[in-house]
Amino acid sequence: MTGPALLAVAALLTVLGAQGLSKARWTWRTPRIAIGLWQALGLGWGIATIGALLGVALLPYHRGIVHGVPGLVADNAARLDVVHMGALLAAVALTFVLLTMLATAVVRVVRARRRHRALLALVARGDSAAPDALVLDHPGAAAYCVPGVRSSKVVVSAGTLALLDDKELAAVLAHERAHARERHDLVLLPFYSLRQVFPQIRLVGRCLDAVELLIEMAADDRARRHRPAKELATALLRFAAARPAAAPSGTLGVAAADIPVMARVNRLLRPEPQPRRIRVAASVAIPVAIVIPALLWTLPPF
């Protein structure tokens, strides 16, 4: 019973880690490392939770998970009673639901982007004021990225061109290109699908909110390499005052109404270095959160 118990403890620790990370502010100083830690916690939770259920199911075989599965297949689960069969079905069901919801989220996003690209081909235009971007003739403020495998599109509205000066616009475009280059849409997909699986659990919603803010900060940091931080900060404030509409489904906007703009502005104007010990600890925690639950799958019963 030791293996399943340790996996259950590992699953609980990932949940507690996610709860603490959702309230942490040190993550704002190193958003890329924090994003990696979020991904590791999510994957570690899945490995540990499914492993704990499988471990309970395979207890009658006394060989652990990895070596117990061949025995389960060989005798068609003949050794399983009602309790162990229930644990096996729960493990299979959880795996199926998680993978199905992830696949559904991917299909939904791909379809939304395909429709939006077709719409852009009809109504968007090029403009020398926004190089390598598409312009929509809309008076409201809007700037977003439509990610893609082969190519990504950065879209701004005519209202954005009127709202921002040339330097601020360049900073916004750099921010959106950062989303495209770093494929932040792929980072968000597992968290979106997890929210679909557990819509009533508040922690899942807080996790998604935290990751959304971190990817915006990561894009801010990349844009800051090419443009002064003040330009992007000013653009963000102008966007917030203009109350931009939500970005279309499947896209990443520069300033969503539900993402704290002031937190981004403050870190742009007053950046704080992350202590080395915290960076090292967070970097070490990323592989640990995945490797330990995976190793427990190979743990023989004792």
Same domain, 295 and 254: no
Residue-by-residue pLDDT tens, the chain, 302 positions: 588 899 999 999 999 999 999 999 999 999 999 999 999 999 999 999 999 999 999 999 888 898 888 888 888 888 888 999 999 999 999 999 999 999 998 899 888 888 988 888 888 888 888 888 899 898 888 888 888 877 788 999 999 999 999 999 999 999 999 998 888 888 999 998 988 888 888 999 999 999 999 999 999 999 999 899 999 999 999 988 887 767 777 676 666 655 688 889 999 999 888 888 999 999 999 999 999 999 999 887 66
Predicted local confidence at residue 272, as pLDDT = 87
Give the pLDDT confidence score for residue 230 in this predicted structure.
94
Task: Clarify whether residues 301 and 234 are in a common domain.
Answer: no
Taking only Cα atoms into account, the Rg of the chain, rounded to an integer number of angstroms, comes to 23
Indicate whether 138 and 248 sit together in one domain: yes
Pairing state between β 134-136 and 153-157: parallel
User: Would 90 be classed as within a structural domain?
Assistant: no
Cβ neighbours of residue 8 closer than 8 Å, sequence gap 6 or more = 48, 52
| Statement to judge: residues 218 and 291 lie in one domain | no
Indicate whether 45 and 131 sit together in one domain.
no
Asked if residue 128 and residue 54 are part of one domain, the reply reads no
pLDDT given for residue 250 in this prediction: 67
Per the structure, the count of domains in the chain is 2
Assigned domain for 247 exists? yes
E-strand ranges in 94-163 read 125-126, 134-136, 143-146, 153-157
**221 and 279 within one domain:** no
pLDDT in tens, 5-16: 999 999 999 999
59 and 146 fall within a common domain: no
Look at residue 115 and tell me if it is in a domain: no
Nearest Cα residue to 57 out of 41, 81, 40: 81
- How far is 248 from 120, CA to CA, in rounded Å? 12
Output the pLDDT for position 104.
92
> Does residue 132 sit in the same domain as residue 233?
yes
Please indicate, yes or no, whether residues 165 and 297 belong to a single structural domain of this protein.
Answer: no
State which residues form the domain around 27: 1-80+274-302
Evaluate whether residue 92 is within a structural domain: no
172 in the same domain as 259? yes
At 247-261, the pLDDT tens digits run 777 676 666 655 688
**DSSP reduced 3-state for 153:** strand
What pLDDT shows up at residue 100? 94
- The pLDDT score that the predictor gives to residue 220 is 94
What is the pTM assigned to this prediction?
0.90
Judge if 289 and 154 occupy the same domain.
Answer: no
